[in-house]
Structure 1
């Protein structure tokens, strides 16, 4: 029997201002897709080849691009798909503390090489009270005050990691809780190499699923420029290398956050290029094809020096 994965998806139709629901079917043998209109009970897209969608993109909560339509995957379409693709997909929080933020590129390299993906990310600065609330379960421990003081001493980067058995993989990547012990027992671990420490963290604190946006980002909006790591680079696992290159060139990353842009947002962002460059449509399609990472690069005369560092838009 031919393998098929089914998802319930939503697409916002800007022309009709309606949220439309489709069943999305994906056939991994030949990379074909099919869509069924739930409301009108009819085929919307007959089975056709689509090379830009991959099995690793298929999980509830993700946004995928199918023939320029951004589909939000809101549920599994059948029990087989839920059992096959949903049973091992775990999410966990990675909190990069102040002493390791400058080595974020190295951390991301370790994450991507372990077949985990980063689905959310944000650089933020916690107040003493926010840090104390986050670590409230440890308030009776002797290390509590030092931990809170340390975490609130500078910017941190919170990331949601996802993958098969993500929690155990991230724990293994971190190594023993004491950095000195990690250097002896697990010299290749993140803690051994970068000297961080770990305590159980909660995703909801940084990435609320309901009301609110969590702690604010660290953007300062002066003497800075914007850098976007585009979806194709993130999908290829190049984020760590790019961040390392930026840091190695002497630039300061003063803010960082991941976004999933819809087409309207991407068109607005690139509006200045509309009618000016022939690649405008493809630029918009690329920017809304998956998650992007937005960086604030801070420093004197940064707009010019960073543009020179990046080089021409055409590789």
Structure 2
């Protein structure tokens, strides 16, 4: 048994499920066996086996961290805590959470930065694009109040959009700060030319990204951005369309590549990582119910894990981008897409009609409606309120 890699181990997690019909919360113990990727569940209240051990290769150990949402046989389970001391002891260090912030100067390169995050072994637990006011920026950086650079820093942070993220990895705080490189971007280019600040920063203020310096700071900074899901809302909700980077691409760690391609032709004016319950996904896709034979499969895929939603606008901010962005994404069937439209997003990143990489708005009149559904958080508030306590689960 190798506890470092998880080979031959059984890990236990305490999870909850909110029944969308009765609004009752059920608590289970979820067991995960690494050698054959099998799972079983125990009903804590009734003290009995709820799900007999069964192979489930779609679930991987790295996605079983505190606060994670996993879809299991149409149930959206939230991992609340470790289920035993063995699991806590052997997983806690490998599932550390830190806070990361892409600054306004880094937004134009956020796709490449997010790709570096994934390729360096991090998972993204939370993500939201925000627009800070000067007061917000001063509150966030209040620890630096009175220092010579404070006023310039806070003015800069309020000058444009930023992207807040919670990152999960082994020794996440140290590893993220190492990936960032020295605070001064010129020093970073001299000492660590492959670091994020060397690649994308300008100086010690416009240095592309911020990283927490401790676990305590990471918790405080994460709460600042994620405790209120409407904090720093930046969605325009006009002249826009919706793109969803589907869960299978987020799991595969290629979401940053998609974002980078989108930014070459369009502006991303709002962005958020979202997890849908099955009812949320069915509500979002309601227009396709009874129309597309794959409706239920589409719902299952969208609710299978976190996805990244983006409000897309034309570069000049004018006109309706729905049709041009739909052309950019390509036909729904990725297999056919690779033949007839090989340079589109779905041809490059999709697998089939269900796991086709991205969702895009179909009708010109629905672009704003779909963006409002996501960015005004119009989906079932009771289910959603339970799922969005994740940032407090450390």
Q: What's the TM-score, normalizing by structure 2? A: 0.77
CA contact (8 A) 1:217 1:256 kept: no
Which has a greater percent of helix? 2
Could you say which residue in structure 2 is the equivalent of 1:245?
261
Counterparts of 2:259 and 2:78, CA distance in 1: 28
Superimposed CA distance per residue, residues 17-37 of structure 1 (whole angstroms, 9 cap, x where no aligned partner): 311111111111111111111
Could you say which residue in structure 2 is the equivalent of 1:303?
322
Q: In structure 2, the residue corresponding to 1:100 is in which secondary structure? A: helix
Counterparts of 1:99 and 1:15, CA distance in 2: 45
Matched, 1:78 2:84: yes
Matched, 1:19 2:35: no
**C-alpha RMSD of the superposition:** 1.3
Superimposed CA distance per residue, residues 213-237 of structure 1 (whole angstroms, 9 cap, x where no aligned partner): 3623210011100100110000001
Matches within 5 A, 1:1-315: 3-195=9-201, 196-197=206-207, 198=210, 200=212, 202-208=221-227, 212-213=228-229, 215-248=231-264, 250-299=265-314, 300-315=319-334
Counterparts of 2:224 and 2:20, CA distance in 1: 32
Number of residues of Structure 1 aligned to a counterpart in Structure 2: 311
How far apart are residue 3 of structure 1 and its match?
A: 2.2
Counterparts of 1:146 and 1:16, CA distance in 2: 52
Q: In structure 1, the residue corresponding to 2:26 is in which secondary structure? A: strand
Which has a greater percent of strand? 1
List gaps (5 residues or longer) in structure 1.
Answer: none
Could you say which residue in structure 1 is the equivalent of 2:378?
none
Q: In structure 1, the residue corresponding to 2:146 is in which secondary structure? A: coil
List gaps (5 residues or longer) in structure 2.
Answer: 2-7, 335-394
How far apart are residue 15 of structure 1 and its match?
A: 3.5
Counterparts of 1:64 and 1:284, CA distance in 2: 14
CA contact (8 A) 2:281 2:302 kept: yes
CA contact (8 A) 2:99 2:211 kept: no
How far apart are residue 239 of structure 1 and its match?
A: 0.7
CA contact (8 A) 1:88 1:164 kept: yes
Counterparts of 1:99 and 1:6, CA distance in 2: 42
Change in 2 beyond 3 A, CA 1:101/1:135:
same
How far apart are residue 135 of structure 1 and its match?
A: 0.5
Superimposed CA distance per residue, residues 30-66 of structure 1 (whole angstroms, 9 cap, x where no aligned partner): 1111111111111111111111111111111111112
CA contact (8 A) 2:176 2:211 kept: no
Q: What's the TM-score, normalizing by structure 1? A: 0.96
Of 35-44 and 82-91, more deviation after overlay is shown by 82-91
How far apart are residue 70 of structure 1 and its match?
A: 1.2
Counterparts of 1:16 and 1:148, CA distance in 2: 47
Superimposed CA distance per residue, residues 237-294 of structure 1 (whole angstroms, 9 cap, x where no aligned partner): 111110111112x101111011111111111000001111011111111111111111
CA contact (8 A) 1:176 1:182 kept: yes
CA contact (8 A) 1:223 1:302 kept: yes
CA contact (8 A) 1:217 1:257 kept: no
